[in-house]
Structure 1
Amino acid sequence: MSPTSTEPAPLHVLGALALELRGDARVDRDRLEQAQAGELADLIAADLARFAPRAADLELVLVGAHYDPVELLRPGWPLHRELDGLAARAPGRARGRVVAFGASNGQLPGDLTPSPDFAGGPLRLLPFVLGGDAAEVAAVGERFETELLETGMAGAATALAAQALFGLEVEHARYLTVHDLAAMTSLQYEHAGLAPLWPVLETALLQPEAEAWLDTPPEPLVRYAGGEARIALFSPQAWQRRYAAGLDCSSDDCRQRAFRQHQHFQARQRQLAAVLQAHGVPVNFVHCDAGEDCRAALA
């Protein structure tokens, strides 16, 4: 199913083959040549038809390259959209067609090149798009959303082929929808202490036209609206008013403690901004001085 209410027909199933790498594995190759991509795509098509037989009647579009989760989980699903756009320009769209994009002389088409900034993570993803008749897409999408996370282990031939073609050490290979990936990432961020930011990021991904706030001290003040995140950049006095109103610093020790707390707060702001930007959400810092309504400043 289409992951957002803003995507036009025809509907698409957006997913990925997830390769969980061994902890000490090296990642030396992030893309396949065209023939290799086609070989892997045929195996993936067979796997998806095993999970939902009607998937065999849909067009499968795949890129023979692997990415970090943050490269897939971005507003508007740009990697999936790029795949679909490239396939639309290829002649002969038909039921059951398998379209694989690979590299030519090391170069991938369009905007499919994996970012070196996010290379080396333990989970690598090969995005795919299933498209075709809206009713068939909806049926396959519903089945994938309810079952794929639990039952979607890749076939042995597919896992071995991915391992050999990319030169990876793969611990597990399984299929996910973008919703499954978002749910997994939410849990990972919770364990990493980033749970307060997730509702803002989730809104950007699933309802990019909506608005969301992070307004729970001691966290930074963040507003998502209009496709961007605004973060209040507090002056020391404004920070103390909102976050440390009980401090009455008449001693050097207290002032030093307040200074350290403000620095820690600023580091947290930078951390949240970096996460949002990694997911393709533009970030703007908005200055807020003492005496200002900082929520209003973000409007």
Structure 2
Amino acid sequence: MNQITANTPRTDRVLGALALELTPGSGAARDAVPQAEAGALAALVAADLAAFAPEAAALDCSLVAAHFDPVELLRPGWPLHQELWQLAAKAPRAPGGGARILAFGSHQGRLPGALSPSAEHAGGPLRLLPFVLDGDAAVAARVSARCEADLMEEGMAGAGTALAMQEAFGLRVEHARYLTVHDLCALTAMQYEHAGLAPLWPLLETALLSPARKAWLDAPPEPLLHYAGDGTVRMALFTPAAWRSRHAPAATVPEEDEEAHARLARMFGHYEARQRQFAGVLRAHGLAVEFVHCQDGARAELAAPAPR
């Protein structure tokens, strides 16, 4: 079971990403750059963010010099940003303190900690370089408010930054802009709506923004899901008869009507495919999926504590 401890992003840190929208049909030659090259990329990102919100220059700016798929960032507890922040917190400060620009690149082909992009999610058209701004709580809160209000609309990356990213990773950039994780949630919600996944988003959004809360997807003909508030989604599995009782209760089909029975069988097959689709999306976002065999009292069965 996933241990969920974080909630919405703290206002004394800014969790965000440089979003690289790739030219259609193109890919990336590299998913990470060596540590020796990472610092220059982080300096460009820090300069862009300070140009957008001048007080950001007073905050530590930490960057992963690797690019990820949105599903790798949008997970309960923001684990990728949390790992980045923890690594940055361990880095020594120079005498006299002051804001730091910290970059985490690869060494001998490996990134530190749990910062490695997944090959499973490589190749998408939108690639993200996560960053964290952290420091004095009052300054960070003001920068966070500015970012949440306007970063998505006004946070275009500088031309030099976009070119440097293009050369560093061997990719072709159509657009480069900065986003907070909340902006990324909003963007993903729109993309999922266009992909026919809108019914799943409210439950997924609860898991991301309020991971200790519970949520349901109970909207036939969609699958029945219960988010238990602990990083696990329980999904009801029905026999064909139980599915028909819940999803097609008014369908009275004579035993000899083979065409009608075949139609119901196809509908049940589509339902099972939808379950697999939802399970794949949820797992990509770092949620565990538990299938529970249910009968007529499906909601009660899903809400019941899982057997130990």
Q: TM-score range by the shorter chain?
A: over 0.9
Is 1:230 paired with 2:234?
Answer: yes
For 1:10 and 1:247, the matched residues in 2 are separated by 53
Give the direction of change, closer, same or farther, for the CA distance of 1:230–1:138 in structure 2 (3 Å limit). Answer: same
**What's the offset of the Cα at 1:36?**
1.2
**What's the offset of the Cα at 1:279?**
0.3
Is 1:264 paired with 2:270?
Answer: yes
- Residue pairs, 1:67-106, within 5 angstroms: 67-92=68-93, 94-106=97-109
For 1:141 and 1:274, the matched residues in 2 are separated by 32
Stretches of structure 2 that go unaligned for 5 or more consecutive residues are 304-308
Give the direction of change, closer, same or farther, for the CA distance of 1:153–1:248 in structure 2 (3 Å limit). Answer: same
For 1:46 and 1:61, the matched residues in 2 are separated by 12
Is 1:43 paired with 2:49?
Answer: no
**What's the offset of the Cα at 1:227?**
2.1
Deviates more, 1:7-16 or 1:276-285: 7-16
**What's the offset of the Cα at 1:253?**
1.6
The corresponding residue for 1:275 is 281
Aligned AA for 2:191?
A: Q
Q: Deviations over 1:26-46 (max 9, x none)?
A: 222100001211010001100
Aligned AA for 2:18?
A: L
Deviates more, 1:194-203 or 1:224-233: 224-233
Aligned AA for 1:245?
A: P
For 1:10 and 1:53, the matched residues in 2 are separated by 17
**What is the aligned counterpart of 2:290 among 263, 284, 287?**
284
**What is the aligned counterpart of 1:108 among 108, 111, 135?**
111
TM-score by length of 2: 0.93
SS of equivalent to 1:298:
helix
Runs of 4+ in 1 over 4 A off after TM superposition: 7-10
**Number of residues paired by the alignment?**
294
For 1:65 and 1:24, the matched residues in 2 are separated by 20
**What is the aligned counterpart of 1:206 among 183, 206, 209?**
209
Stretches of structure 1 that go unaligned for 5 or more consecutive residues are none
SS of equivalent to 2:47:
helix
Q: Is the 8 A contact 1:31 1:166 kept in 2?
A: yes
For 1:245 and 1:24, the matched residues in 2 are separated by 46
TM-score by length of 1: 0.95
For 2:224 and 2:260, the matched residues in 1 are separated by 24
Q: Deviations over 1:270-289 (max 9, x none)?
A: 10111010000111011013
For 2:25 and 2:11, the matched residues in 1 are separated by 42
Deviates more, 1:43-52 or 1:218-227: 218-227
- Residue pairs, 1:130-145, within 5 angstroms: 130-145=133-148
**What's the offset of the Cα at 1:147?**
0.7
Aligned AA for 2:235?
A: I
Is 1:293 paired with 2:304?
Answer: no
Q: Is the 8 A contact 1:95 1:132 kept in 2?
A: no
Q: Deviations over 1:224-283 (max 9, x none)?
A: 113211110011111000101122222222211111110100000110111010000111
Q: Is the 8 A contact 2:8 2:210 kept in 1?
A: no
% identical equivalent positions: 61
For 2:207 and 2:302, the matched residues in 1 are separated by 17
